[in-house]
Structure 1
Amino acid sequence: MAFFKYEYFKLNSTNFPYAHLADKRTQHWLLVESYGDVVALVTLYLLLVRYLPKWMQRYCISHLYNSYRRKPFQMKPLMLLYNFLMALLNAHICKELLFNGIRSKYNFWCQPSRELYTKEELRIAAAVWWFYFSKLLEFADTIFFILRKKREQLTFLHVYHHGTMFPLWWIAIKWVPTGSTIIPSVTNSFIHVIMYSYYGLSALGPSVQKFLWWKKYLTALQLIQFVFGACWSAQAIIRGCDFPTWINVTTIVYMASLLFLFGQFYVKTYQTNKIKDK
């Protein structure tokens, strides 16, 4: 675990509400101790979303171009590597959480987060940290859209989803890195294995893209995930699960927002286009 016990930024090491309740196992891991680090990185992300497209629009890449607009970057090798590595990382996270949860005899409907130092519990916490860190790596999705001038994909849904997942999972890794936290981690990492595999195959070009008929069903699977996440959190509250109620309430509200936004995207992209085709 020595790899995690190093803090790059430490922009804010002051106390804040409920800091004394944080899980002691993860406090000195990378990007966990200080909320200032999270605020700084999300702010940087939003600034890039705001100003990088303007930079791409205004300046040419070299004096050889007659246009004063920067050409889209061709990033096929990098995108192939990134997407397949992200798929492998999420597969590893999913496997670690499931196997160690089963070995620890977790109740997957309600499992308290205890400060235990068994090998399995520490591996679960490490997998949740990697899941949290993967939300920072996913900022690259947005950067790729901008550099490739895929402005139609830089939607409010995309920026909202990416900009909120990282700080929300900071809460999880800081206060509840084990226990019932593994349920949303497992479901989301499983779907991300499919999603990044799709993106990786799509990056191979038109010769492969014509066989990728299942993008619509990937979005439908994400919608099912949000419904499941909200229902799972609701049942935990109803049955009085020994897991922070405020986290379950936050999960329900967040799942509802994603269900609404992804639902709009699904209807606009697939149902409306289907009607137009007819």
Structure 2
Amino acid sequence: MVLLSTYFFVHGGSYTYLGQYNWFCQPVNYGTDDAAMAVTRLGWWYLLLKLGEFLDTIFFVLTKKFSHISLLHVIHHSTVAWTVWMGVNFGAGGQNAFFPFINCFVHMVMYTYYCLAALGPEVRKHLWWKRYLTQFQMVQFVVGFLHAAVPVVYDCGFPPYFAYILMGEAVLLFFMFRNFYKKAYKGPSSRPAHKAD
């Protein structure tokens, strides 16, 4: 997953925000030129990646590990898959490409952590930064919200209804991750911050 997230960040970014896209506000290119078609293809592959991430929920159900399934987990993966599907079907690229772009960067860091943690207790005890992954995700939602809000107040040719969908998703996920963070790291039963999870 580290490699896939890196691929989508770098390759997808080369067509969007590391390429010719305007960082402030980018309209959707509904054309059939090579760049527009490449972004659309990447969008479909990104959707498959997001659906693949949701497979862990199915595996938890099949192996009866219901304690691993949370409302946050289900809502996060299902809303992201839905908004990616909406974006790819009705407006691939443009302002819609920003959230997947930053999300891939966050997932590069997150899956690196999980990869290192899977190496065992000897490595895991040095991984003091798990709580900061959740903070990083919350920052992602704030930045995503602010970026999505631009076409609502500034007409750059990006459909505002997409902006409202992205803003709603960012708000929902921010508060769900914030609640998770409070329970996991700030609540009375949470572990001290210096111990690795």
Asked if residue 258 in structure 1 is aligned to residue 170 in structure 2, the reply is no
The equivalent of 1:16 in structure 2 is none
The equivalent of 2:91 in structure 1 is 176
The equivalent of 1:230 in structure 2 is 145
The equivalent of 1:249 in structure 2 is 164
The equivalent of 1:77 in structure 2 is none
Q: Give the one of 129, 142, 148 matched to 1:214.
A: 129
Larger radius of gyration: 1
Asked if residue 163 in structure 1 is aligned to residue 78 in structure 2, the reply is yes
SS in 1 for 2:150: helix
* Fraction of identical pairs, as percent: 35
Q: Deviations over 1:9-64 (max 9, x none)?
A: xxxxxxxxxxxxxxxxxxxxxxxxxxxxxxxxxxxxxxxxxxxxxxxxxxxxxxxx
Q: Give the one of 190, 202, 206 matched to 2:105.
A: 190
The equivalent of 1:124 in structure 2 is 39
Could you state the TM-score of these two structures normalised by the residue count of structure 1?
0.63
Q: Deviations over 1:237-272 (max 9, x none)?
A: 111231111111111111111111110110111112
Task: Verify the 8 A CA contact 1:226 1:256 in the aligned structure 2.
Answer: yes
**Aligned in 2, Cα 1:138/1:277: closer, same or farther, shift over 3 Å?**
closer
Give, as a single letter, the amino acid of the residue that structure 2 aligns with 1:213. Answer: W
| Cα shift at 1:107 | 0.9
**Aligned in 2, Cα 1:206/1:183: closer, same or farther, shift over 3 Å?**
same
| Cα shift at 1:273 | 4.6
CA distance in 2, matches of 1:140, 1:94: 21
Task: Verify the 8 A CA contact 1:129 1:177 in the aligned structure 2.
Answer: no
The runs of at least 4 consecutive aligned structure 1 residues that moved more than 6 Å come to: none
Of 108-117 and 185-194, deviating more is 108-117
Task: Verify the 8 A CA contact 1:96 1:123 in the aligned structure 2.
Answer: no
Could you state the TM-score of these two structures normalised by the residue count of structure 2?
0.87
Greater helix content: 2
| Cα shift at 1:151 | 3.7
The equivalent of 2:58 in structure 1 is 143
| Cα shift at 1:117 | 3.3
CA distance in 1, matches of 2:144, 2:98: 8
Q: State the aligned residue count.
A: 193
Q: Which has the higher contact order (CA 8 A, sep 6+)?
A: 2
SS in 2 for 1:138: helix
CA distance in 1, matches of 2:65, 2:126: 22
**Aligned in 2, Cα 1:103/1:260: closer, same or farther, shift over 3 Å?**
closer
CA distance in 2, matches of 1:92, 1:250: 26
| Cα shift at 1:92 | 0.8
Unaligned runs of 5+ in 2: none
